[in-house]
A and B are shown apart, each in its own frame.
Chain A
Amino acid sequence: MTKKLYPILGLLLATAVLLAACGGSPAPATGDAPVEQPTAAPAEVIFTTPSGYGVTLEAVQSRGNLICGVNSQVPGFGYVDADGNFSGVDVDYCRALAAAIFGDADAVEFRPVTAAERFTALQSGEIDVLSRNTTWSTLRDTELGGNFVHTTFYDGQGLMVREDSGITDIAGLDGGTICVQTGTTTELNLADVFAAAGVSYTPAVFEDADGTFAAYAEGRCDAVTTDKSGLVSRRTVLADPEAHVILDVTMSKEPLGPMVRHGDDQWFDIAQWTVFALISAEEFGVTSANVDSMMTSSNPEVLRMLGAEGELGAALGLSADWAYNIISQVGNYEEVYNRSLGPDTPTYIPRGLNSLYTEGGLLYAPPFR
């Protein structure tokens, strides 16, 4: 019996050696592998950049649809209903991007990804763009191999507690238990903020949003923390939404937005200007209802955006009417927002920071020129 284990042990050792070799060589660059490195590395540098530029658009166009990584558990942002339909502002961004590329907002396949697997899914090319209430942060923007396109929703981390607990601030949670989802910036902010405030707590950490809120609903923890938008939307699906309050505490800045892979600047530009088209359309008063009449607007910038004048679409590698398609099929930022988070929805969130700069918010798009 024992002898049979030797091959396995051998394999184990071999794997370890291989790993060590893989891990060791890139750091000292040419230190112990002078033969291999100089031939491999420059070749990579010369050929990767040109082949990276434009490959994503080409792949998407030849596939015929856009694959978008979304959330399926947060109403208002990314949620799948009983009929399998996706809705939410993050989902609508995907539809806007598909409209820009194909002129068809439905040419998109939604792929639900968990917080834990989203970056791997993007890195490995399983999805073309990640639009899943993802917080923009340094490591994610660099080491995780992605680029944040633009903030589409300015959020902040909050805490929700039971109203009858009488807790009103962080100090009130001293010695308590807090439910949080793993693999999120939320998890790290929670540790940071409570450490800074000198308040002791026990985390109860779960794999997904459903698990986290189920445990909170059972009373496993005194508070649950995630982005305030997430709290608002998840509160609507709790058994008795009125029994829970969101504390007036903002624990962090959470700029949420879509993310694309490193290495393809054209794709980055397309993803970014799709956001700008949504924002600018609201600024110029272009809506899905009046976009046809706006084609003859007296404002030259509107004409350039809609493709009636100039060749901005070609500069992005898209057709001239790319922005027209976005607005006519998906709407402008305000329409997208109100459809999922507006006053008429159960997940109403006041616009606050997510208003145009002209109205005291942070939405500000560069000029179309």
Chain B
Amino acid sequence: MANAPKAHANPPFWRDERALRLLAQLAFGAAVLFFGYILIQNMVNGLRQQGTTLGIGFLQNTAGFDLAETLNDYTRSSAYIQAFLAGLYNTLLVSAVGIVLSTILGIILGVARLSSNVLVRTLATAYLELMRNLSLLVFLIFWYLGVFLKLPLVRDAINWPGNIILSNRGIGIPWGIPTETWPAFKLFLFGGLLLALAIIVIFHFQGKRTGKAPLAIVWAPLAFIAVAVAGWFLQPAAPLSLDLPAVQGLNIRGGRIFTPEFMALVSGLVLYTAAFIGEVVRAGIQAVSKGQVEAARAIGLTSFQTLRLVVFPQALQVIIPPLTSQYLNLTKNSSLAIAVGYPDLFYVSNTILNQSGRAVEMITLVMLTYLMFSLITSIFMNWYNARVRLVER
């Protein structure tokens, strides 16, 4: 036909697949933007009709309410933003404590699941099945109303050896109070930390160069402890004085008091998340091929050495990504604190919302804050994952 030479000419753009794809993307993008615009416009109009406007200036207003436990020096006359920060710190505290404890418990559970001991294995399996099939909220309320509030009243508080006091107002343990030599002692702690880091780095490079290096994981903490102990005794007076809890008046005074709300939240989160971490650890260990273990045994490694030198390093790269999401889950689940009255980020924001009536602003702030937690955790865990990933040669 006559049009044979035109066969390779570009078709019009409405028949060009690449152009159509691009158009579809643009149309979809525009639709999303338009929808978002309508939502926001609608909200702004609604607020304007009520005579309120958006803005975060109100965060400077006086809060006026008290919080049960804070890590900053918040009082009723502080600004809303101080209350918000107090909640933020409490969330960070619960998440940090929760992540550390649930990781330890989770690893124990994961290894126990694979134990050759029938009793240990069955108990671990039963625990995991129980936890994984419970609702976390129910579990938290159980710990709060069913366990920690069922402890005796303050006047009948239980005294455990070691000056531990148990009551439904809280669990008091002995705690150190900084004395005037504490600031000087802090320098030693810092120096010890630097030394420990130096040991880790030096041993790491020595290991790379010679293939033989002492274990940093043993020597670094030892060095830190040695410096700290030396620092303690070099001070003219002890940097910390012991403060014992005691029942006094209506409450426990002195020492460090863990409130029932904190205890219930941490217990619930740790025991619940540990079950999931246990499964993650088990899956990671089972993902290491059997030949690796057999080979390690063949060259005469003990079973502990096999676990530490062969299995765990390889299991880690399977474990890290799902472990990250468990850490994220724990952090986000900590917002259930409101059910047991622990003043975490969400709880305090909710109070601010109620007292100030700034629903849109507070909910947005809370969402952004949780999103930031999650992104920071993900970034760190991804970096760590990249480090432990097996370099295939």
With contacts A204-B341, A205-B351 taken as known, whether A175 is within 8 angstroms of B55 at the C-beta atoms is no
In the complex, the answer to whether A220 meets B149 with C-beta atoms within 8 Å is: yes
In the complex, the answer to whether A203 meets B52 with C-beta atoms within 8 Å is: no
Which of A8, A23, A116, A220 interacts with B55 by CB under 8 Å? Answer: A23
Report if A215 contacts B (CB, 8 A).
Answer: yes
With contacts A188-B65, A204-B68, A220-B260 taken as known, whether A143 is within 8 angstroms of B53 at the C-beta atoms is no
With contacts A1-B382, A203-B68, A263-B49 taken as known, whether A222 is within 8 angstroms of B250 at the C-beta atoms is yes
Q: CA–CA, A209 to B368, complex, Å?
A: 30
With contacts A22-B54, A218-B168, A220-B168 taken as known, whether A203 is within 8 angstroms of B382 at the C-beta atoms is no
Please give, as numbers and ranges, the residues of chain A lying within 8 Å of B260 by CB-CB distance: 220
Report if B343 contacts A (CB, 8 A).
Answer: yes
In the complex, the answer to whether A22 meets B40 with C-beta atoms within 8 Å is: yes
Which of B55, B66, B249, B385 interacts with A27 by CB under 8 Å? Answer: B55
Which of A191, A205, A206 interacts with B76 by CB under 8 Å? Answer: A191
Residues of A within 8 A of B (CB-CB), count:
60
B interface footprint on A264-291 (CB within 8 Å = 1, 0 otherwise): 0000000000000000000000000000
In the complex, the answer to whether A26 meets B66 with C-beta atoms within 8 Å is: no
Please give, as numbers and ranges, the residues of chain B lying within 8 Å of A1 by CB-CB distance: 321, 378, 382, 385
In the complex, the answer to whether B354 meets A116 with C-beta atoms within 8 Å is: yes
Report if A111 contacts B (CB, 8 A).
Answer: no
A28 to chain B, nearest CB (A): 11
In the complex, the answer to whether B354 meets A48 with C-beta atoms within 8 Å is: no
In the complex, the answer to whether A18 meets B375 with C-beta atoms within 8 Å is: no
In the complex, the answer to whether B66 meets A183 with C-beta atoms within 8 Å is: no
Report if B291 contacts A (CB, 8 A).
Answer: no
CB under 8 Å from chain B, chain A span 1-16: 1-2, 5, 8-9, 12, 15-16
Q: What are 19 A-B residue pairs whose CB atoms fall within 8 Å in the complex? A: A9-B375, A18-B40, A26-B48, A124-B46, A144-B357, A175-B248, A175-B249, A175-B251, A176-B249, A187-B65, A188-B65, A188-B355, A204-B341, A205-B347, A207-B341, A218-B149, A218-B150, A219-B149, A263-B50
In the complex, the answer to whether A115 meets B55 with C-beta atoms within 8 Å is: no
Which of A5, A16, A182 interacts with B354 by CB under 8 Å? Answer: A182
With contacts A48-B49, A176-B250 taken as known, whether A191 is within 8 angstroms of B168 at the C-beta atoms is no
Task: With CB as the reference atom, state the residue of chain A lying closest to B50.
Answer: A145
In the complex, the answer to whether A8 meets B168 with C-beta atoms within 8 Å is: no
CB under 8 Å from chain A, chain B span 52-102: 52-57, 64-68, 76-77
A interface footprint on B327-369 (CB within 8 Å = 1, 0 otherwise): 0000000000011010100010011011101010100100010
Report if A106 contacts B (CB, 8 A).
Answer: no
Please give, as numbers and ranges, the residues of chain A lying within 8 Å of B353 by CB-CB distance: 116, 183
Q: CA–CA, A123 to B350, complex, Å?
A: 17
Task: With CB as the reference atom, state the residue of chain B lying closest to A205.
Answer: B341
CB under 8 Å from chain A, chain B span 234-290: 248-251, 253, 260-261
Q: CA–CA, A165 to B104, complex, Å?
A: 43
Please give, as numbers and ranges, the residues of chain B lying within 8 Å of A140 by CB-CB distance: 357
Q: CA–CA, A215 to B339, complex, Å?
A: 12
B32 to chain A, nearest CB (A): 11
With contacts A5-B375, A176-B250, A191-B66 taken as known, whether A19 is within 8 angstroms of B351 at the C-beta atoms is no
Task: With CB as the reference atom, state the residue of chain A lying closest to B156.
Answer: A219
Please give, as numbers and ranges, the residues of chain B lying within 8 Å of A5 by CB-CB distance: 375, 378-379
Q: CA–CA, A227 to B130, complex, Å?
A: 43
Which of A48, A120, A214, A263 interacts with B359 by CB under 8 Å? Answer: A120
Please give, as numbers and ranges, the residues of chain A lying within 8 Å of B149 by CB-CB distance: 215, 218-220
A172 to chain B, nearest CB (A): 9
Report if B113 contacts A (CB, 8 A).
Answer: no
Task: With CB as the reference atom, state the residue of chain B lying closest to A184.
Answer: B354
In the complex, the answer to whether A183 meets B351 with C-beta atoms within 8 Å is: yes
